[in-house]
Amino acid sequence: MNSIGREIWDWIKTFAVVLLIVLIVRTFFFANYMVHGESMMPTIENGERLIINKIGYEWVEPDRFDLIVFHANEESDYIKRVIGTPGDEIEYASDQLYVNGEPYDEPYLDEFKDHHGGPVLTHDFTLEDILEKETVPDNHLFVLGDNRQNSLDSRQLGFVPYDKLVGKANLRYWPLGEISFVK
């Protein structure tokens, strides 16, 4: 093989190794996700693109207020915020979140509340009222969209099983001017 042939072969091998690494990382560690809809506004807008950490929940359980992507059905993945973890008792009263009887602030809703103009962002409910359970079951999550009045979430879909989790939203990369870690 002449020197040009060897150089071409070296480039082909390098390209194949890089492609293999990209496929492994994309398949097992990270995924990109494009947001469809307004259920997470104003935290995440329609059309934004995110990097999802697919491997983090292999070692740790989701935390309250994590933004997760999960398989909602065979065709669609949804992004929502974790409100309740296994064993939690969830209640909303007078637009205030209570977990196990303790009030929790939701600062990520402040911007929406300021521009909402309506009397209530999250209507009163308990888990027992809507899902006939007192607490979040083992290996499940209770999730809500930040746009509480325009979100298909656990109030309608029920609890999200751990085996339906895709991963945690970590980074917004599109639009370019808004690159940031997701909070």
Per the DSSP assignment, residues forming a β-bridge with 33 are: 50
13 catalytically annotated:
no
Return the amino acid letter for 87: G
Token digits of residue 58: 């292999």
Q: Cβ distance 91 to 125 under 8 Å?
A: yes
- Side-chain half-sphere exposure of 143, counting CA atoms within 13 A: 31
Which of 39, 54, 151, 154 is the catalytic position?
A: 39
For the sheet containing 125-126, what is the strand order?
A: 102-104, 96-99, 90-93, 125-126
Residue 76 bears catalytic tag: no
- State the amino acid at position 70 in one-letter form: F
Helices then strands, counting H and E runs in the chain, come out as 4, 12
- Other C-beta atoms within 10 Å of 124: how many? 12
> Which residue out of 54, 80, 154, 168 is catalytically annotated?
80
Q: Which residues are catalytic?
A: 39, 80
